[in-house]
Structure 1
Amino acid sequence: MKKGKEFIFPENVDKDYGVWKDYTLRDFGIAGLAGLMGLIFIAIPPYGLILVLIKIVIVVLAMTIVMAILTIRPVSARKNIKVRDNFNLKRRYANSQKLFYLKAKKRGELNAFKADQQK
């Protein structure tokens, strides 16, 4: 016998608006910002042919890394978990305060400890 309504949410529900192939508007903004920074890097002097080619290779490599970070999912079965979210979660955990609990001492052990301290 059912009581009330039953709501089922699939595991891959994501709050972000997917634009194209699991990329969100935020992902496109990050990639666009990285591309703009790459163009600014190429526009900075010196302008020798070899130096410009080296700069282009560096920018293409950097853009590949940015797109890889945006694309890779740490848990392949869960499409809504992203690498950057996983990095942020681990960083917050590393910076959070940890709680350690000490084992309570028995009354006899505590008195023996005080006696050793007084000697």
Structure 2
Amino acid sequence: MKKGKEFIFPENVDKDYGIWKDYTLKDFGYAALTGLIGLILIAVPPYGLILILIKIVIVVLAMTIVMAILTIRPVSSRRNIKACDHFKMKRRYANRQKLFYLKAKKRGDFSALEQNQTKQ
């Protein structure tokens, strides 16, 4: 008893366009933005040898962190869920509107009401 067509998408389908080894165009954009910020950091004076080396280490560390976040898959059986999406989902879940329900009262139980009236 179907009401219409049923569409089944495999779990490994992703909406983004994959370019190279599970990296998408958006992932390369994040990496390029991090690299551009790193080049700007290196170009800012002072230009001492030790300071340049410290800046390069900071840029390499930042690029490694960005690429690690883009590569990590929090659910190993689902290749289409990325760490960024997982963190966003958890943040939205924590910030959602909470619903609280009151305990339902029994409609046929008048014994408590009768006990209160007899005490008075």
Name the TM tier (shorter chain): 0.7 to 0.9
Q: How many residues align?
A: 109
Over aligned residue pairs, what C-alpha RMSD do you find? 2.2
Shift of 1:104: 3.0
Given the two structures, how large is their TM-score scaled by the length of structure 1? 0.82
Normalising by the residue count of structure 2, what TM-score does the alignment of the two structures yield?
0.81
Query: 1:105, CA displacement in angstroms?
Result: 4.3
2:6 matches 1:14? no
Q: 1:62 Cα shift?
A: 0.6
Counterpart of 1:68? 68
Alignment partners' CA distance in 1, 2:102 and 2:10: 42
CA distance in 2, matches of 1:6, 1:100: 35
Residue ranges of structure 1 left out of the alignment (5+ in a row)? 113-119
CA distance in 1, matches of 2:32, 2:40: 12
Between the aligned residues of both structures, percent identity stands at: 80
Q: 1:99 to 1:6 in 2, by over 3 A?
A: closer
Residue equivalent to 2:50: 50
Instruction: Specify every segment of 5 or more residues in structure 2 that has no aligned partner in the other structure, as ranges.
Output: none
